[in-house]
Amino acid sequence: MIVVTTEHVSGQQETASLGLVRGSSIRARHIGRDIMAGFRNIAGGEVHEYSKLLGESREQAVDRMIEEAQALGADAVTAVRFQTSMVMTGAAEMLCYGTAVKLETAG
């Protein structure tokens, strides 16, 4: 599956737009991570615990978006974007979305 942030896949001809596809992941903070993050906040620097949490959420959201695109028979997802939002205190959603498209096959 080709996944790009551009409007079109370079060097490929789109034959059909299959519509919006999306994937999301909602993660809650963990008390142990909060304690470690608090220490890092005092000392300064990257909060590795939250970076890892967001990275995992991002990967899961992309995987879910790709699954939805594959179910539609897509060859690629274009115009991919990410968005985050807080859904409750201590929990955030990572949303990934784009346009599922069919590409012309070579030959």
Whole-angstrom distance, CA of residue 91 vs CA of residue 71: 29
The closest of 30, 85, 79 to 53, measured between CA atoms, is 30
Q: Which residue has the higher pLDDT, 37 or 95?
A: 95
Digit-coded pLDDT (tens) for 21-75: 999 999 886 656 556 556 656 666 777 777 888 899 999 999 999 999 999 999 9
The length of the chain in residues reads 107
Looking at residue 23, its pLDDT comes to 98
pTM here is: 0.83
pLDDT tens per residue, range 77-90 = 999 999 999 888 77
The residues spanned by each domain of the chain are 2-28+60-103
Q: How many CA atoms lie within 13 A of 7 on its CB side?
A: 0
d(CA 69, CA 84): 21
Taking the domain 2-28+60-103, which CATH number applies? Answer: 3.30.110.70
Pairing of strands 76-88, 91-103: antiparallel
Whole-Å CA distances, 107 to 17, 104 = 21, 9
User: Which H helix or E strand runs over 76?
Assistant: strand 76-88
